[in-house]
Structure 1
């Protein structure tokens, strides 16, 4: 960042936080870091980020993402089990939740980026220059999105979806051992992001 670090660096931070008990590498919640200040010169969106034409209300991203981002059935579809989510509040960004399959090493995390008020503009400003893979996606449930990762061969991918010009949702996937090398982690992250945004739309009544 400034607002998000490249996914490869995020892994180490979360492994330290969770310790070795998880048995696999969980999808990380990004650490806090400063975002570019909004001014008349860089009014949102900026840095090439697309405008969110029909934003979700901020209330859709309120509360605990462990309870609102994914259902237990959806978590099981993504990582083959449905463990309890682990909540983490990231200062300067917002709440995040991750779910980990300790047997396979796969994981999914979702973060509601509500505090830096930069939306996808911060991702385009900070993460795009550092990413070896940068893939703008077709709209996710009608909202602009991009998939990215630091290394081309990485088994981790983050998808960021702009729910408003100043708000976004991050969904990060870490592939399990059996899928490494034969599954595109960004495709899986896009599918998981579609589930999350669909749930948030229903929550907002849209």
Structure 2
């Protein structure tokens, strides 16, 4: 199931037979996300997610300038996918406008999905989440809370030859860091 489908379930409240979750590093009973000490305005996710990363950033992250780019919109998020077809790697950035509780949306469902608290990126709390632990397929999706009511998602699929050798969440962290750099440097 795609990250967008998991996002839709998080908003709708349906559990849809998700596998048993694995707990985060914090108290598993706690459904309150960490406080955001330097919130960004909600407008940071109101634009085009294809502008969340510069050409230089996508080239660095995917190792090529020959990328397939696709924009998608659903009832939860507007997203942009950048793919390096020859390597089988992909980046997706989702502006989660349907998550009106920011990371609270994921924390409220942490017992119905795969959930793991991660270290902050540029001071903003992050959570790896999904239907299951997807590292064996080279995938990782992380949600980044930028305000109490605002979050975005950074998804990474690493190249086929690196699956099992690199942690895809390291790539998702780099994507989130690049998105935050763009968000905070854009007037």
TM-score range, shorter-chain basis? 0.7 to 0.9
* Distance of 2:138 and 2:108 partners within structure 1: 24
Identify which of 113, 134, 146 aligns with 2:127: 146
Q: Are 1:80 and 2:63 an aligned pair?
A: yes
Identify which of 98, 108, 116 aligns with 1:135: 116
* Distance of 1:63 and 1:56 partners within structure 2: 14
Alpha-carbon shift at residue 128 of structure 1 (Å):
5.3
Residues matched between the structures, number: 166
Alpha-carbon shift at residue 196 of structure 1 (Å):
0.5
Alpha-carbon shift at residue 84 of structure 1 (Å):
4.9
SS in 2 for 1:183: coil
Q: What is the TM-score normalised by the length of structure 2? A: 0.80
Q: 1:85-118: CA deviations, max 9, x gaps?
A: 2111121x23110111111110000001123302
* Distance of 1:187 and 1:125 partners within structure 2: 25
Q: Which segments of 5 or more consecutive residues in structure 2 lack a partner in the other structure?
A: 14-29
Identify which of 54, 58, 78 aligns with 1:71: 54
* Distance of 1:197 and 1:128 partners within structure 2: 28
Q: Which segments of 5 or more consecutive residues in structure 1 lack a partner in the other structure?
A: 1-8, 11-27, 37-45
SS in 2 for 1:190: helix
Tell me if the contact between 2:40 and 2:146 (Cα under 8 Å) persists in the aligned partners: yes
Tell me if the contact between 2:42 and 2:149 (Cα under 8 Å) persists in the aligned partners: no
Alpha-carbon shift at residue 29 of structure 1 (Å):
4.0
SS in 2 for 1:87: strand
* Distance of 1:104 and 1:54 partners within structure 2: 37
Alpha-carbon shift at residue 127 of structure 1 (Å):
4.8
SS in 2 for 1:178: helix
* Distance of 1:65 and 1:159 partners within structure 2: 16
The aligned residue for residue 32 of structure 1 is: 8
Q: What is the TM-score normalised by the length of structure 1? A: 0.73
The aligned residue for residue 59 of structure 1 is: 43
